[in-house]
Amino acid sequence: MKESILSWLKNRYPVDSVTEFAQKKKVPLFQGTIWYYFGGITLFLFLIQVATGILLLFYYRTGADQAYESVKFLMTKVHFGWLIRSIHSWAANLMVLSAFIHMFSVFFTRAYRKPRELTWITGMVLFLLAMAFGFSGYLLPWNELAFFATKVGTDIVGAVPFVGDFLLTLLRGGSDVTGATLSRFFGFHVALFPGIFTLFLVIHLAFVQVQGMSKPIGAKEEELKTMPFFPNFVLRDLLIWLIVLNVLAILAVFFPWELGAKADPFVPAPAGIRPEWYFMFMFQTLKMLPAHIAGLEGETVGVMAFAIAGIFWILIPFFDRSSQRGHKSKLLTYIGIIVVIFILVMTILGYTLS
């Protein structure tokens, strides 16, 4: 049976050339090889997001008067509906975490250096889209926490100099968070972002396949140990995906995602409203800034600083000349460590300070 299928495929498609290409590809073996797997983990969690998201779409109804009830019906009346939603929510958070780890591992190993500058940039676009997925999907259940967290998040967008008001209206569909905002976020979440994400994902994976895995900086070709991409690396990747699936199932079953109370725009915001954890370091930083800095609003200065830092981070392959010469810049390593510590400290403060 197996031989018949293979024979059928070989008579129609260049199966042998694809297999030969995969077997010729080599993956470097060194102490940092473990970091290569986080790209695949992020992809796996995205696929789970797509599958569970399609199942949720069968029952979800958009609109301020129907969204909460449809999610409640899904969680209480539909067989395993609560589990599908819980898996979808946990997978979203784990996907962002995995993308964070993947991004910093690429940075610290300088895997973005020539000729992989565009691989890094397409990866950064995917990372930002993953965060946008989380932000837009957070509002869809139309519960109290998501409603006020979206108000806070879009208020921050409104602080962007020159285009803040335009972006705020574009996101909200008006001056405040309403049913129009929910409809827009739904469109972003299930149509616009998936379309753009899929396009960049295909480009990103094509770059990785064509250019292969990055070798450790300074490593000599003749001394570097490798293993075949297929089947060795692929089988290890699949084993790790299986472990991740088990972790995801445990989290979804023992820590199911709660729905909370329905959003009511006319009640005051409850205490302790916070954004998702991956926005917490920015949220806490903006909270700690003084009201005015050099004649400008503190929040505006903070948003500008984050924007400039983000652009520098995306363009880092073009600034890092040391890695092009086969050396690691100590300054960039220190900057990377400071960024990681800053994110961790601000996130912890965001959850511990009232």
pLDDT for 73 equals 96
Say if pTM beats, i.e. exceeds, 0.85: yes
pLDDT for 19 equals 77
Looking at beta carbons, which pairs linking 154-157 to residues 24 or more positions away fall under 8 Å?
154/181, 156/282, 156/283, 156/286, 156/299, 156/303
Q: What is the pLDDT of residues 254-290, one digit of tens each?
A: 999 999 899 988 888 877 778 889 999 999 999 999 9
pLDDT for 354 equals 61
> Cβ contacts of residue 282 below 8 Å, gap of 6+?
156, 302, 306, 346
| One-letter amino acid of 243 | I
Structure tokens at 302: 């903070």
Q: What is the pLDDT of residues 115-136, one digit of tens each?
A: 999 999 999 999 999 999 999 9
Query: Which ranges of the chain have pLDDT less than 70?
Result: 354
Instruction: From 85, 80, 51, select the one nearest 67 (Cα to Cα).
Output: 85
pLDDT for 289 equals 93
Burial class (CB in 10 A: 0-12, 13-18, 19+), 15: middle
Distance CA 320, CA 113 (A): 8
